[in-house]
Structure 1
Amino acid sequence: MQYRLLVSGDRDHFTTLDFDPNMKRLSILADYPAPFNASWVDRISSHSDIDYLVGLSEGEKVGSLYSFGINHARGSCRVTSEQPTLGAPAHFLTLRDNSALALSTYLGGSIALYPISISAENEMILTDEPRTELFPEFPYKIPGHGPNQSRQQQCHIHQILEDRRGLLYAPDLGSDRVWIIRRDALRMEVCGWLACPPGTGARHAVFSPDESVMYVIGELSHTVVAFDLSSAPANAILPIDGFAPNIIPPSIHPDHHLMLDASELCLHPTNPNVLYVSNRWSRHIAQRQPELKDVPRDLPTGDDIAIILLRDDGKKVKTLKHVRTNIDVIRGMRLSDDGKYAAVVGQEGGGIEIYNITGKAGDIWSLQAGLSEVTKAIGLVAFMNSTVDRQGEARANIVNSDFLLHTPHFVPMLDNHNKKTQNVGIEHREDNISPIDSADPFDAENIAYGPSGFKGLIAAPYIFGVSFLASLAGFSFGYDQGVISIILTMPQFHNVFPETAPSSPTYGFSTGFMTGMLELGGFIGCLFYPYLADRYSRKWGLSIAVVFYTIGAILQTAANNYATLVAGRFIGGIGVGTLALGAPLYIGEVAPPNIRGSLLVLEQFSIVIGAVLAYWITYGCRGIKSEWAFRLPFLLQMPSALIVGICIHFFPFSPRWLSMKGRDEDALAALARLRRLPPTDNRVQQEWKGIIADVKLQQAIRSKMHPGVTGVKLEVAGWIDLFRQKYRKRTMVALAIPFFQQFSGINAFVYYAPIFFQALGQDTERALILSGIVNICQLIACIGTVLCLDHFGRRNLAIWGGIAMGIPHAIMAGIVGKYHSSWSSNTGVGWFGVALVYIYVLCYGFTYGPLGWTLPAEVFPSGIRATGIGAAVATNWLANTCIGFSVPQMQVSIGFGTYIFFASWCFIAAIFSYFCVPETKGLTLEQMDSAFKDGAAAEELEIRREVVKEVINGV
């Protein structure tokens, strides 16, 4: 996903910026002419295609409060109303009931309420009704100067906050108090205050998530104090004892502490036990003041961010550390709503920087991007959600705007070239439009249902249960893949099916044909499952798959002749193919965005764990003297699949499938049930609209591409589309990578590992144990899959993965060819061959293992993505079938040539990837067009705008 930022300040324009975390790039989206120089700006409402904002213009005695509208389609900005302020305005807050704005002034010390209304022209305005003003210094006048005489001669209110009870809190630097103000409509009265220690200089404050604690930063003392708000408002509420962390950076010499001004503090949005505090190091100001005679002229640049880790109750400090930035005189700090990124901005230098926040405690900051050319002015920045307006154009939607960031006006360095910002109106860029995927066109991937990762799974037990049940289908798939390798070595099995015995003249063909029938069935199953899933639902599709799977398991268990066994493998394979597609499809459509990735990884783990358990269960059964040595492992295929087929009906239908059937209200009810939230919840509503939009988009694209075509003809047309000129290169990549995935030889080792290890000089018993470790290596590689995929990118993994897999194969070909008849005297070489097998399996798991499933899902535009993925999966199964059929015969016929065969395909994969596979990680539709040089998504983007407008206006 991408993040949007808004910048304004002491200049004649507003700027929206885009931060792409995948590309680590910060760039300008558009400039809007501004009617005034703003010291603060905040979005308060949206109407039609216009965003309404309010801004402040400073003045020592009289400032101004403006309401204005930005029309993103026209790239214009127009003032709708203006009101004077008494003193220099510092901050304002939109009240929770949206009746008025609360404004504070830092010179004059007043708090005022300005009513909001809609004009006859249907515009948001600040009304001409009398405003209400409150002067905390009367009757609470400061008795003389504060400890810092130059800064504490009068009330100096920097901020206003409002709690859930409607009480206002106003930190007052001049009086070392945070005023508590009770409001009745537009009437205000002071009902108490929080008493900061003398000389604190209260500047900014933030509530704990439950509003039981308030944290206050002292600009003059460089400390954070905390107040317990659990009791009723009263005069002189004292700070929590022992809570006063000093945030002065250790790099600042004590003689220069006078030049520090603590600025803002933020609470981590998903980890309430982490506070971030900025402390601006005003070296430029100090150097310009002659009375500060001993200030060095070569002071280091860059301000610090203090990271305060709190204990669970939020009332005690656990640890404190500092992060050094490249910003001079920090005047703002803002965290994205997901807590992954922080924007830091400066008044005197450094411009704006974006940091990635990682670590369990959120205490690791790494610089991602920045724009550094600045001029000496103050502006504002806010992280925003990327969304789409009613005209289908990209719109920046400011969220959680209690803290907007002060930042300098700057002349950005874009793409490493000095380019001055100009008022050129809105710059139309298709990559501004949020991608519409299977979840949400309104950037629903960032809906805050809860934390991600393990914590998110624990916080969502219902959806975890739904997904865990569905993942048993993956377990069944993995079990069926892993059960055959040891069975093929059992004398009990050879006695019943002599065609598969090594002594049989048809051994190679019969073994390969029987094994490969599962993959052929999987190929057939993956072709017709999409029809089942769309026609009868994802749930019934899984149940039908279980029927095939169970019939196949019964036939394999009861078979007394080769033909029945082959039939059982084929029918069971149909079930395996459908389960392999059905489980991740259902999980992906019911999982919330914040843990979807984790739940899909859970499904992958289930496949690998199924294969591991199948192997070791079969290994344990081989000691049974009767035919149950192989019949029992075949029989144990059934329980997990039957649990899925029956229990899946106790859970909701996929909301996406319901929407596809025109049952939008049922989709909303199912989504609310899955999220354990009421249907009216904003997050549920947003995700629901996103699902509807995506369904309509698919229908609109198909209708546009094939007008008047329906039914089977439309399905056939979709397959033909894959090979049209504008999609041909994408289809080639999407089919080639799964092909190379299988022809690298992975399932040769999964199915026939004991045979390979015996060919390396290992005895039967040892070969069986070593074969079990192959599956464990796959499990280890599965853990690192996501890390490798996202860290190194798709293209690099495709190139270097092919090379890394080809080298072990090539070396094995050499040692098997030279030592195949003398392993007894060259046992060390044999063990080296075993190590090479494991190296190959690990390299596969980290590279082509995930690539075969990821790349096909990324390269196609929405209109043909489902068909393209189906073709890629079918290619995977077909290639898998070829490997299953051919490897036993290859081992018999060409011996070490089998390794040469696989090595050749690995190196061909690397060469193909170098010349044909572009990097696709994190690319938008338009960027994917550029990568493939085909313009395939251009038409889709136009359809997308119309669909989004229809959904917003029609839902």
Structure 2
Amino acid sequence: MALRFRPPKQSQRVMPVKPTKGHFFFAHKEFERVPWWKRKNMRILYVYIVILILTNTANGFDGSMMNGLQTLSYWQEYFDHPHGSLLGLFNASMSLGSLIGLFIVPYMIDAFGRRLGCFVGCLIMLLAVGLQSGATGFGMFIAARLLIGFGDCIVLGSAPLLIAEIAHPQDRAVLVTLSGASYHSGAFIASWVTLGTLKIESDWSWRLPSLLQAICTIVIVSGIWLMPESPRWLMSKGRHDEAMQVLVKYHGEGDPNDEFVHLEYAEIKAAINLDQEINQTGWVDFLRTKGNRKRIGLITALGLFSQWSGNGLISYYLKYVMDRVGITKASTQLGINAGIKSEALVMNFLLAFFIDRLGRRPIYMVSTVGTFLVFNAWTIVSARYDIAPNNALGYIFVVLTVLYGFFYDIKSGLMATYTTEILPYGLRAKGFTWLNFCVTAALFFNQYINAIALDAIAWKYYIAYCVFLAMEVWVIYCFLIETRYTPMEEIAKYFDGNDAVDLGEMAVADMKEQARDLGGKAAVVHVEVRE
């Protein structure tokens, strides 16, 4: 099926239009939403996607677990009460491992596929979890954390792309947002696990949570080869029949004549062919056009904002911060941590189902303005407690911590969705890797520098985050572009303007041309669907 590329149309930037209730847009046409729960193959596909979502659950488990371990007396005694730069190294070693692994991620998953990336990353993580659980000293624990980070970055660079590229377009935004939000499911589980293991009077109080970290990874390894490969990756390798088989089976419920499937196939193929024709697949291509500069600028900002909003203090140094305001009992600290993670889990999973209805800009604006206001109040309470300690300020501090988490969690599942949808296929793996690099670099800074800064200037360090949050509000308000209700291959029009090729129009035109070539009959590509 040859595509004939036409010059881009000169058109004004178009803002997203809301489809009729119960419908979604694709290639300038409204389609009725299909009830996935009534379709066997779509149900199976979404089970696979749930397994992929567990990749971020494992990541969230690790982050919350490290926060909880610092409260356990046996962990503190085993590693001789680390603090300052040594505690920073404990927390930051995973991020350092991720930074090392990011150099290979885009090349691996573009060359060998998304599934292989998930599989290799999970195997590395399983090895690392074994080393961490059996650590006999500082060096072994740090080595395990580095290895966990290395494997985790490969998994997290592969799974969200596979979810975005195999999901049905009507549900893509919700499913990718759930993937981002699932970090909090892991954090929720780990927070309650560490609270439970507080009662174990041995080193197993910290070794057991480390070992349980492997459960999600084992499930992913067991299921990854049952899943379909990304049809976009298959097309990029010239394996068009296999790509069509995936689309027919899972999006068309095995019907080779399904109109939507053929339109989806035509649009994806147009996008892949266009990427290959203009050859925009290298790192330098992010800087060559105005649209790509917008994309990489927003991705960089969102990656840094995800970690430099003050949340690093709560995620990895909550014990230290609570000690500063007089909340020192281990069970209370772990209970507060568990409560915060529970709230985050509920907030993220509920909002994921309204991602298209609410829109990307409103969600980011509410979250960023809310965290800015609450964190400033949090800083003021910490300063007042430093001057005149009292229990009332400690309780207010806890309330503000929960309220901060409420606002921060509004946006935390959205970053993966927004990044994957604004990038063209040829740059998607590299752009998503750059996002993970920005997140990991900011996280490494938080995990290492925060401990040193807190030791040196205590609550005054919070002021730096107050200033950065003010800048976040300005950037989100001025530069974030709304993309809801728009298929992945058509979002380019919001970034490239007059230079954008209308892929939806191109796909429709190509199908009409095929129909004329077939004597007016519908243009249908017949394939054998493999069960």
TM-score between both structures, scaled by the size of structure 2: 0.83
Deviations 1:565-607 (A, max 9, x none): 1111111012222222322222222222333344334434532
Distance 1:926 1:472 in 2: 30
Deviation at 1:789, TM superposition (A): 5.1
Where in structure 2 are the equivalents of 1:420-431 lying within 5 Å? none
Aligned to 2:517: none
Query: For the Cα contact (< 8 Å) 2:42–2:250, is it kept in 1?
Result: no
Q: Which residue of 1 aligns with 2:462?
A: 899
Answering whether residue 66 of structure 2 is matched by residue 484 of structure 1, we say yes
The residue type paired with residue 517 of structure 1 is S
Give 1:731's aligned residue: 296
Report the equivalent of 2:283.
719
1:466 paired residue number: 48
Bigger relative contact order (CA 8 A; separation at least 6): 2
Residues 447, 564 of structure 1: alpha-carbon distance in 2 compared, 3 angstrom cutoff: farther
1:685 to 1:925, Cα distance in 2 relative to 1, 3 A: closer
Map 1:382-421 to 2 at 5 A. 387=27
* Structure 1 residue 867: Cα displacement: 3.2
Which residue of 2 is the match for residue 9 of structure 1? none
> In 1, are the aligned partners of 2:118 and 2:155 still within 8 Å (CA)?
yes
Please give the alpha-carbon distance, in whole angstroms, between the structure 1 residues aligned to 2:66 and 2:337.
12
Residue 831 (str. 1) matches residue 407 (str. 2): no
Asked if residue 752 in structure 1 is aligned to residue 308 in structure 2, the reply is no
Aligned equivalents of 1:672 and 1:386: distance in 2? 16
Contact map agreement 1:750 1:775 (CA 8 A) in 2: no
Establish whether residue 538 from structure 1 lines up as the match of residue 104 from structure 2.
no
CA contact (8 A) 2:298 2:479 kept: yes
Distance 1:890 1:872 in 2: 26
- Structure 1 pair 805–788 and aligned structure 2 pair: CA distance change class (3 A): farther
Match status 1:941 vs 2:507: no
Report the TM-score, using the length of structure 1 for normalisation. 0.48
CA offsets 1:881-912 (integer angstroms, 9 cap, x no match):
11111222222111111321221111121123
Higher-strand-fraction structure: 1
Distance 2:377 2:483 in 1: 32
Task: Tell me if 1:841 matches 2:418.
Answer: no
Shift of 1:641: 0.6
Task: Tell me which of 581, 599, 606 is aligned to 2:182.
Answer: 606
CA offset digits 1:842-876 (Å, max 9, x no partner): 111124x2453344445555654543333223212
**Structure 2 matches for 1:683-694, cutoff 5 A?**
683-694=260-271
Distance in 2 separating the partners of 1:24 and 1:649 = 37
Q: 1:601 to 1:941 in 2, by over 3 A?
A: closer
Note if contact 1:478-1:610 (Cα within 8 Å) is conserved in structure 2: yes
Cα distance in structure 1, aligned partners of 2:167 and 2:421 = 19
Contact 1:801 1:910 in 2 (8 A): no
Offset of 1:636 from its aligned partner?
1.2
Q: CA 1:696–1:447 in 2, change beyond 3 Å: closer, same or farther?
A: farther
2:220 to 627, 631, 644: 644
**Residues 1:700 and 2:277 aligned together:** yes
The secondary structure found in structure 2 opposite 1:481 is helix
The one-letter amino acid of 1:741's match is S
Please state if 1:868 is matched with 2:438.
Answer: no
Name the SS of the counterpart of 1:820 in structure 2: helix
Cα contact 2:161–2:420 (8 A) shared by 1: no
CA distance in 1, matches of 2:228, 2:493: 37
Q: Given the alignment, which residue of 660, 674, 677 partners 2:254?
A: 677
Measure how far apart 1:447 and its partner are: 5.3
Q: Which residue in 1 is equivalent to 2:378?
A: 812
Long gaps (5+) in structure 2 = 1-13, 515-522, 526-531
Distance 1:942 1:24, change over 3 A: closer
Inter-partner Cα distance in structure 1 for 2:357 and 2:173: 15
Structure index of larger Rg: 1
Output the CA distance in 1 between the equivalents of 2:402 and 2:39: 32
Answer yes or no: is the 8 Å Cα contact 1:800–1:910 preserved in 2: no
In structure 2, relative to structure 1, the CA distance for the partners of 1:775 and 1:640 (3 Å cut) is same
Q: Which runs of 5+ in 1 are unaligned?
A: 1-19, 26-335, 342-384, 388-433, 435-442, 706-714, 930-935
Shift in CA distance, 860/386, structure 1 to aligned 2, threshold 3 Å: closer
Identify the structure with the greater helix proportion.
2
Identity of aligned residues (%): 24
Residues 907/926 of structure 1: CA separation in 2 closer, same or farther (3 Å cut): same
Once the 2 structures are TM-superposed, how far is the Cα of residue 527 of structure 1 from its aligned partner?
4.3
Q: Quick check: 809-818 or 568-577, which moved more?
A: 809-818
| Number of residue pairs matched by the alignment | 497
Aligned-partner Cα distance in 2 for 1:894–1:723: 39
Partner of 2:449: 886
Give the SS at the match of 2:326: coil
- Confirm or deny: 8 A CA contact 2:125 2:152 kept in the other structure: yes
For 1:769 and 1:945, how far apart are their aligned partners in 2? Answer: 55
Equivalent residue number for residue 572 of structure 1: 148
Closer/same/farther in 2, CA of residues 558 and 900 from structure 1, 3 Å limit: same
Residue type matched to 1:751 in 2? Y
Distance 2:210 2:268 in 1: 41
Q: How does 1:78-117 map to 2 (within 5 A)?
A: none
Shift of 1:480: 1.6
The answer (yes or no) to whether the contact 2:299–2:435 under 8 Å persists in 1 is: yes
RMSD, matched Cα: 3.3
